[in-house]
């Protein structure tokens, strides 16, 4: 008996800097893992915010950390885009969230 064929839509991420598909393992975390970088072109990228199941107690518990991490990434991008060194209080907040941005 012959197998059937089917197709499905595939969603993938494209780098906003070089327009290449972002392959698995083609990114790394810069600034202590705070900022994702597309390895082939070196551009800073931000993946879409994940939508989590709010009925999960564990995911609800980590939501404040994820919100803080998102704020830190936004602030870091602003400092980086203006070539402003990270202020000490910003670095302290990053360390508190597990990002060693030295």
* Residues making contact with Zn ion (CB under 5 A): 15, 17-18, 38, 41, 43
CB of 49 to Zn ion, least distance (A): 20
Q: What share of the chain is helix, strand, coil (3-state, %, to 5)?
A: 35, 15, 55
CB of 43 to Zn ion, least distance (A): 5
- Is 38 or 73 the residue whose CB approaches Zn ion more closely? 38
**Structural element, H or E, at residue 43:** strand 43-45
- Is 37 or 69 the residue whose CB approaches Zn ion more closely? 37
C-alpha distances (whole Å) from 1 to each of 6, 7, 47, 49 are 16, 19, 43, 44
State which residue has the least CB distance to Zn ion: 15
């Amino acid at each position: 008996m012959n197998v059937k064929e089917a197709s499905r839509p595939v969603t993938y991420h494209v780098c906003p800097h070089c327009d290449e598909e972002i392959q698995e393992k083609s990114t790394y975390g810069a600034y202590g893992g705070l900022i994702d970088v597309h390895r082939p072109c070196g551009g800073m990228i931000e993946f879409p915010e994940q939508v989590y199941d709010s009925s999960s107690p564990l995911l609800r518990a980590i939501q404040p950390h994820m919100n803080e991490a998102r704020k830190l990434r936004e602030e870091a991008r602003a400092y980086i885009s203006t070539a402003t060194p990270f202020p000490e209080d910003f670095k302290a907040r990053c360390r508190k969230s597990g990002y060693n941005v030295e």
